[in-house]
Structure 1
Amino acid sequence: MPPRLTKAVIRNFRLLRRTELSFTDKVTLCVGRNNTGKTSLAKLFEFFVARKKAALRIEDFSADCYEEFLAAHRLFASGEAEQARDTVPAVTLTLHISYDKDCGQYGPLAPFVVDLDPDCSEVVIRFAFALGDGALKEFFGGVPVGPDATATLEQLGRGIPKHFEMSVMAVDPTDEANVRPVDLADVRALVKVDFVEAQRGLDDESDGHAAPIGAVFEQLLTAAEKSQNATWLEELAANIDRTLVDTSGSLDSSLQKVRERVAPTLKAFGYPGLANQEFVTAARLDSKRLLRNFARIHYPGVAGVRFPESYNGLGTRNLVMILLRLFTCYRDHTATSPESGIHLVFLEEPEAHLHPQMQEAFIQRLTYSVNLFPRIDAQMRATMPGQKGAVEESSTAIDSSPRWNAQFVVTTHSAHVANRGHFSDIRYFRKEEDTVESGSEPGPARTVIKDLSQVTGDERFLRKYLTLTRADLYFADKAILVEGASERIFVPAAEEKLAARRPGETPQHQYVTLMEVGGAHAHRFYPLLKVLGIPALIITDLDPVDDHEPKIRKCLVSESGRTSNQSIRAWSPEMADITVAELLQRAETDPPIAGGSMCLAYQVPEEPGGPCGRTFEDAFALANRALFGIPTGAAPAEELEQQARSSVETRRSKVDFALDHVLGDHDWQVPKYIRRGLEWLMAQDGTATKADVQ
């Protein structure tokens, strides 16, 4: 089994203050709202491994590091140089790579194996961007200590590109103190990183803009040049070059005639003179540059008219571009890297311009490319002109084709992509802030990455539910979980009604997902909601039952003993066997809250001591008595509850019940328990704290 990247530990880079990301063997799916650090993850790998950027700036350090810079500056000014150096923050990336300890040959792993444990099957590589040795005085010396922290940080920031350096160390997994410097070239021999960015140049259709797909063809031929083995791409490039040689000869003759035509004009100005030789013309055509500048994709039209690349939809062009880029990554990796090397491919927002079904199909088939590309490569080599027994040699060619040890890291904002990803492959990026006192400025923000394969509880149910129904929970600011279709229809209408009464206080400007989970299943989401840390409102029913009789039966709230609702019973240990009377008392002033981020809303009386509905329909009728012919005066609670029950039982289905009132012309009131729950949700700012995401 080839080596695999299993974990990355990140320190002090932007929102990734203290973050760990575990990788899957195939596709690691990174989800979360905007500005939670997903793109920063790729940028950090780009800086340390691909080294496309010269240096980091102070803005690239986590916000928490600014105080550390200032503290180190104060220590240096007070003469405590050693402590100052230990306090200066550094950006680090630590890679954990597993391998087969019985592999026999370490290959590109060899420079990184520094442990002496025969049972160890891991190497650790640590990149650091830190203050250089002997640079402490130069970094701090010219910066005076003053009360203006902003000015001090600005001056220190200008010194970071000059005095900070990058280093790479092999770390003993069994002893972190045992390290050995390694060359970046050795790292690149083991780990190759490629990026397919979200901005793929498809939107730029300005005049003179080179077709982006033509540029990809150029990259393919460049990759073929690096290959150590004869490939169909090399043969193709050679055929193109042979054609261009013939074309160049014809061009030479034509250009020479042009030269002869302009020669009299040149002689009139004294060229070439007595000692100079006359110039000759020659055409040099480069196959790769020709592809970049002139290769175009056309689509069949009508009556022989072909449509250019830009006439096709952005979705199709995006898909073609991604597949060509991935194939280029494969060719470049197999041409320059050993078979035992790791190939990490970051694919950013593949859903751009794709319709929902295509998004789902793409993420499902992405892993097929690991085996598909080598097979295509081998089949093309086996069927090139000049191959003997192409059909018989095809299987041999396939077997000898370089394997592609690719691991994909996909960042997405698409619920459709998340729907088709395996639940255990999802990594949830969540931005949290320090809890601060009311009225003060928020503390520094940072990202935590949650491995959803570690979620406790009924993982099988969650995986099935989110795969078959809704995955936009991963991208929401807030969530509302309801029991059935009637609540799913009614709650948005209730939000609009509250918005009209209290403009500016509703969650309309935020991203709120509404999920129908059923009364028997809402509690299964509690562990996941706690991990996600987003404010969540659970709207459920009291479902009172009379447990004094031999056979438990449904009953009115006023005559009930306990609740049969699992969402209520699983809310907390003390509510596992609570009576309905105790539930109503607990929610007399406010609905129950758990962990600061979850609110449980169940039916309560519209007025203290009044009747209470057992379901949504009952509660709606009691909140709107005039609509259902229920007396508005004082009456025994049991009698009013029975009237409400009778008035809704004679109606049509629950969906029709909700639609009749949501779409009807008559005015209605939001039941108290739903109104209080939505008001709680409106008051939440959607920002997680450390406590919310533990």
Structure 2
Amino acid sequence: MSAQPPKPSQAPNVSLTCIELSRFRRLAQARVQIDKKTTVLVGANNSGKTSILTAVRNFLATTGQIFGAFDISLDQWPALRALGEAWEKLTEDPASASGDLAKWEDQLSELLARMPTLDLWFDAQSGSYNLVSPFITSLNWSGGAVGVRMRLEPASSVEALQKLAWRYREARQPVMALPKEAHAWPADLIDYWLRYPADLGSVLVYKLDPSQGPFSNPPAIAPQALPSQAAPVDRTKLSKLLRVDFVAAQRGLGREEAETRSTAGTHRVGLFSNQLLKYARQHLNIATTGQGHQPELVAAVASAQLELDARIKAALTPSIEDVKKLGYPTLHDPQEIHFRTRIQTGDLLDHSTAVQYRLDGQQADVYLPEYSIGLGYQNLQSLSYQLVSFRDSRLKPAEGSPAAVHVVLVEEPEAHLHVQVQRIFPRRAAELISPVAPEHAHLSSQLVISTHASHLAHAENFDRLRYVRRVAAAAGGMPSSDVIDLATAFGSDKETRTFAERYFRVQHTDLLFADAAIFVEGAAERMLVPLFIERDFHELDKRYISFLDLGGRHAHRLRPLVERLGIPTVVITDVDPVEVTKDAQGKTVRKAAAIVDPELLECGNDTLNGWHPKQKDLHLLADPKEADQVWSDQSGGRVRFAWQVPIPKGGPWPSSFEDSLILTNIDWFKSVEQKKNQKPDEDDVPLPKLVGPLRLVVKTVIAQQDLVALSKDLHAMLRGSFAKAEFAATMFERISLGDKVVCPAYIADALTWLDTELAPSKKGAG
């Protein structure tokens, strides 16, 4: 009995675990942990998500010059310009002169230290030695971390640097005497590279020491420095280890139909057809000699080709015989014309009706062309087929074995997908790029997605989310970005993490993509605060603000996340005054109460008690200073807390948004009753009827002239069966019609603070 072949490993032998980017665009230094299956990059617009994908794609590209001067971080430009200024002083070609070798070596080190780099960190099992051996730094390696650095190098030796310096000097020489204002090219070394990006050189590959990497103990904070004598590794070794494919976002607003036609057809070919045609040309095109991987298809094509040749000859021979009668010389040598077609299987799909569909419930022989299908369905099918094509191309390389690690980068797939599909896309896409055959179980397939869609982001748990955060420029510095691993945002607090994940999935909040956040207590604030912003804070209204109707007293549950995101945040909450007493059994009882004597009451709000200002004594919250209202951390995150205060100062103290709004606008509520009895002018907007909760508020305000007594009455009314949501809707209608209802001061002050935080002129944070 023959021995059974060994079963393949069920876990990938190698997987990509981390990438580190340095000096690429605004990513001065960024570390991104890569999940074994799916990684989702989230963050506000222009934070650097696309730059991460672009960097990986550019560094791994094997053909063409794809780096430009603008790919170098701005904070590196002054040092590079200084190098160029030194080269301008050259008086002869340094390659032919005996120069100071040490000086050129220093300049080479300075140049390379300013260039973009990409570090790839893999987790490799001991059985993958043949794949990672070119990048191993220890003879005792038995599995674990393997590091690879890719660096853009305009020059890799002193000789190459001298040639670059002389080329730049020759280009700069004719315009050196001109003033900078003349903008004559090249103004500096960066300007030179803008026109000659090829002089940025190429990407070289090096191996890294795992003992100085992100998985060492303790983990290295910054990417390690390469020794000056480090020798590059043959780049083809990396292609056996890693393959990267990229799906770009759909950036066009719309194109003419002619641009989407195939080269052979006269009708529009759908996106799915384009992908199918590409796949067919890669995997199905075969010669009729039988040199292919699909014998049945070979036979069918060969038979069709012979029949087509015969039919073409029968159809065209009479016309050829007629032409021969003219005695045109070239038709007598050769004497006979034969017709031999060459059918390419992929080309058979290159027409507008190659892909058809049948409507559900319709006749079996009734089909419609693909371009009649809804665009959303076409996009979904096209994207899916593209992912399948990536998988099959990886498994059937032109030579050698499939790459051990396959990373597929998808930029903003929501540009292609309807909302209904976005929630399931990450899981389905991961399945499409993963091999299904058991013999491929040792291969790793990993998906990296950048997105602005909350539905897509919240389809995954926080373990797979990476937040790309904009970092404000310090004085004289450049703006940058870093990457926050949200898997660690909640630490060991599983209860808070579970709450956050469920809340995000239910609410589909856009917190992860916003410029700022506002937590509100209830439906009234959620409805009216955006309206006050639109009316009174025009610059703030231009910002992307996420409103979270979480209940301010529960905002502390998202505290770990807010602190990690670091975006300016306002928490609008209630003071929740409570009277502390003892019951018959001697147990402490906290009962909601109107604020009559603040010194006898406590603040019952968990957020104000536990997060900031961590104060239970109610009377100490009556006249807060900025330090009492603003929380900040060392990384620049700032949160402004807003709660009710006496109206006016020293007057009655409301305990909710509704009674604050009423006490702030007493005169307006009184005027509503007066307007009701007036005959409107013809040009006036018709006034809504005074009914429901608004009528009850107006009645209460008019009936009670004493502000302290009115505050008590409002507290009792609001704690009863008062319809707060209906009241908020009525006030929304009134304000929308132009009524001058004033925003309560505690909220207006917080919005003013947020407006200042987001002002373009604001430098840094803290």
Q: Deviations over 1:417-460 (max 9, x none)?
A: 012111110111222331348xxxxx533221111112146333
1:135 aligned residue = 160
SS in 2 for 1:282: coil
Decide whether the 8 Å contact of 2:15 with 2:405 is kept in 1. yes
Counterpart residue identity of residue 444, structure 1: M
Distance 2:762 2:564 in 1: 12
Q: Deviations over 1:146-177 (max 9, x none)?
A: 87397113125445413523211122323664
Q: Deviations over 1:235-294 (max 9, x none)?
A: 2xx433322322222332233341442344255263336664443222111112333456
Distance 2:523 2:194 in 1: 56
Counterpart residue identity of residue 15, structure 2: R
SS in 1 for 2:109: helix
Q: CA 1:686–1:267 in structure 2 vs 1: closer, same or farther (change >3 Å)?
A: farther
SS in 2 for 1:557: coil
Q: Which moved more, 1:156-165 or 1:524-533?
A: 156-165
1:393 aligned residue = none
Alignment of 1:448 onto 2:482: yes
Distance 1:362 1:331 in 2: 20
Distance 2:761 2:207 in 1: 36
Alignment of 1:540 onto 2:607: no
Pick from 148, 153, 176 the counterpart of residue 180 of structure 2: 148
- How does 1:300-319 map onto structure 2 within 5 Å? 300=358, 305-319=366-380
Distance 1:465 1:331 in 2: 38
Pick from 188, 205, 219 the counterpart of residue 239 of structure 2: 188
1:465 aligned residue = 503
1:386 aligned residue = none
Pick from 41, 57, 63 the counterpart of residue 52 of structure 2: 41
SS in 1 for 2:551: coil
- How does 1:460-539 map onto structure 2 within 5 Å? 460-499=498-537, 504-505=538-539, 507-539=540-572
CA RMSD of aligned residues (A): 3.4
How much has 1:180 moved relative to structure 2? 4.8
How much has 1:205 moved relative to structure 2? 6.9
Paired positions, count? 647
Pick from 261, 273, 276 the counterpart of residue 209 of structure 1: 261
- How does 1:595-614 map onto structure 2 within 5 Å? 595=633, 597-614=638-655
Alignment of 1:562 onto 2:602: yes
Counterpart residue identity of residue 617, structure 1: E
Pick from 344, 347, 352 the counterpart of residue 289 of structure 1: 347
Q: CA 1:48–1:589 in structure 2 vs 1: closer, same or farther (change >3 Å)?
A: closer
Pick from 716, 719, 731 the counterpart of residue 661 of structure 1: 731
Decide whether the 8 Å contact of 2:284 with 2:345 is kept in 1. no
Decide whether the 8 Å contact of 1:415 with 1:471 is kept in 2. yes
Q: CA 1:333–1:580 in structure 2 vs 1: closer, same or farther (change >3 Å)?
A: same
Distance 2:353 2:207 in 1: 45
Pick from 196, 205, 212 the counterpart of residue 168 of structure 1: 205
Distance 2:281 2:596 in 1: 79
2:618 aligned residue = 580
Q: CA 1:368–1:311 in structure 2 vs 1: closer, same or farther (change >3 Å)?
A: same
How much has 1:19 moved relative to structure 2? 1.3
How much has 1:541 moved relative to structure 2? 0.6
2:139 aligned residue = 116
Counterpart residue identity of residue 405, structure 1: S
Normalised TM-score (structure 1): 0.84
How much has 1:563 moved relative to structure 2? 1.1
Distance 1:622 1:260 in 2: 100
Q: CA 1:287–1:201 in structure 2 vs 1: closer, same or farther (change >3 Å)?
A: farther
Distance 2:37 2:565 in 1: 24
Pick from 23, 27, 30 the counterpart of residue 19 of structure 1: 30
1:624 aligned residue = 665
Q: CA 1:289–1:15 in structure 2 vs 1: closer, same or farther (change >3 Å)?
A: farther
SS in 2 for 1:318: helix
Alignment of 1:345 onto 2:443: no
SS in 1 for 2:547: strand
How much has 1:542 moved relative to structure 2? 0.9
Q: Deviations over 1:79-113 (max 9, x none)?
A: 85343322222121110001123x3x523222222
Q: CA 1:115–1:75 in structure 2 vs 1: closer, same or farther (change >3 Å)?
A: farther
How much has 1:31 moved relative to structure 2? 1.3
Counterpart residue identity of residue 559, structure 2: Y
Decide whether the 8 Å contact of 2:301 with 2:343 is kept in 1. yes
Counterpart residue identity of residue 571, structure 1: W
Counterpart residue identity of residue 280, structure 1: H
Pick from 296, 309, 312 the counterpart of residue 239 of structure 1: 296
Q: Which moved more, 1:525-534 or 1:412-421?
A: 525-534
Q: Deviations over 1:496-544 (max 9, x none)?
A: 4425xxxx33x22222111111233201223322322222111001112
Q: Which moved more, 1:321-330 or 1:362-371?
A: 362-371
Distance 1:477 1:278 in 2: 76
Q: Deviations over 1:62-88 (max 9, x none)?
A: 222211211223455678534332222
How much has 1:124 moved relative to structure 2? 0.7
Decide whether the 8 Å contact of 1:478 with 1:686 is kept in 2. no
How much has 1:121 moved relative to structure 2? 0.8
Pick from 385, 392, 398 the counterpart of residue 324 of structure 1: 385
Q: Which moved more, 1:485-494 or 1:510-519?
A: 485-494
Normalised TM-score (structure 2): 0.77
Q: Which moved more, 1:449-458 or 1:622-631?
A: 622-631
Decide whether the 8 Å contact of 1:135 with 1:163 is kept in 2. no
1:391 aligned residue = none
Decide whether the 8 Å contact of 2:644 with 2:653 is kept in 1. yes
Name structure 1 gaps, 5 residues minimum: 228-232, 375-397, 438-442
Q: Deviations over 1:552-586 (max 9, x none)?
A: 332333423431212112334xx324522222222
Alignment of 1:594 onto 2:632: yes
Decide whether the 8 Å contact of 2:422 with 2:455 is kept in 1. yes
- How does 1:210-229 map onto structure 2 within 5 Å? 210=262, 211=269, 212-221=271-280, 224=283
Q: CA 1:271–1:114 in structure 2 vs 1: closer, same or farther (change >3 Å)?
A: farther
Distance 1:45 1:131 in 2: 19
Q: CA 1:250–1:589 in structure 2 vs 1: closer, same or farther (change >3 Å)?
A: closer
SS in 1 for 2:722: coil
SS in 2 for 1:642: helix
Decide whether the 8 Å contact of 1:625 with 1:632 is kept in 2. no
Distance 2:395 2:762 in 1: 45
Distance 2:323 2:745 in 1: 96
Identity %: 26
How much has 1:600 moved relative to structure 2? 0.8
1:107 aligned residue = 130
Q: Deviations over 1:621-651 (max 9, x none)?
A: 211234344479995x753431331343455
SS in 2 for 1:613: coil
Counterpart residue identity of residue 484, structure 2: K
